[in-house]
Amino acid sequence: MSETKTLLDRNRAFSNTFEARDLPILPKMRTVVLACADARVDPAYFFGLELGDAVIIRNNGGRVTPSVIEEIATLAFMVAMMDGENRQPFELVLVQHTQCGAERFADPGFQKALKAKVGVDVSAVAITDHELSLQDDIESLRNAPGIPDYVVVSGYIYDVQTGQVREIVSPAPLSQ
Ligand SMILES: [Zn+2]
């Protein structure tokens, strides 16, 4: 069984009232949101994002990994090229959430089994303390040569029980 019929039916309904054909490539809010891939944690919903507002990157845990750094460095490079002389702010919003599966990654038994069966090492993205992980992730961004230090970064935790986002790290350029 496949869910694609439902997906395509919903897409027909979506495209029937589609009016977003002339959106610019650069997101209107000049913002990248990094969040967990968890189906309950969709930034478009809880931040009320419209098409074209922001770039959303999602992975397990919403953690800053080497591949996330590559994605953001590439985006920042493209934005800087498109801005030219007229450089404008560029923002990165990190969102972790309660009841995250990445908290299970912290279990040594889980880590060992995953490594043995799938060859994936999740020790670097395991979450034991969300505030600490957010601070670690911001430090990783700060230490990444490809991420410009004028990028403004902030960190949040989304509560899957209330739908509320709590600020952990207020927005500041990486250079600070
Ligand atoms: Zn999660």
Kindly give the distance from the C-alpha atom of residue 21 to the centroid of ligand 1, in angstroms, as a whole number. Answer: 32
Mean pLDDT of 125-129: 89
Mean pLDDT of 137-166: 96
* Type and span of the H or E element at 138: helix 130-142
Query: Using 50, 70 and 90 to split pLDDT, how confident is the model at 29?
Result: very high
Mean pLDDT of 116-137: 92
Closest CA to 126 of 100, 87, 161: 100
Average pLDDT, the chain: 95
Contacts of 33 (CB under 8 A, 6+ apart): 43, 47, 49, 54, 55, 56, 57, 93, 95
pLDDT at 87 over 90: no
- The number of residues in the chain equals 176
Kindly give the distance from the C-alpha atom of residue 94 to the centroid of ligand 1, in angstroms, as a whole number. Answer: 12
What is residue 89's predicted lDDT score, i.e. its pLDDT? Answer: 85
- The amino acid at 113: A
pLDDT at 159 over 90: yes
Count Cβ atoms within 10 A of the Cβ of residue 60 and give its class: 0-12 exposed, 13-18 middle, 19 or more buried: middle
What is residue 119's predicted lDDT score, i.e. its pLDDT? Answer: 94
Q: Which domains does the chain have, with CATH numbers?
A: 28-100+127-173 (3.40.1050.10)
The tokens for 59 are 């992975």
Kindly give the distance from the C-alpha atom of residue 29 to the centroid of ligand 1, in angstroms, as a whole number. Answer: 24
Query: Using 50, 70 and 90 to split pLDDT, how confident is the model at 27?
Result: very high
pLDDT at 1 over 90: no
Kindly give the distance from the C-alpha atom of residue 103 to the centroid of ligand 1, in angstroms, as a whole number. Answer: 8
Q: Which residues fall inside 5 Å of ion ligand 1, going by CB?
A: 36, 38, 100-101
Residues of the chain above pLDDT 90, percent: 88
Kindly give the distance from the C-alpha atom of residue 104 to the centroid of ligand 1, in angstroms, as a whole number. Answer: 10
Kindly give the distance from the C-alpha atom of residue 156 to the centroid of ligand 1, in angstroms, as a whole number. Answer: 13
Kindly give the distance from the C-alpha atom of residue 36 to the centroid of ligand 1, in angstroms, as a whole number. Answer: 5
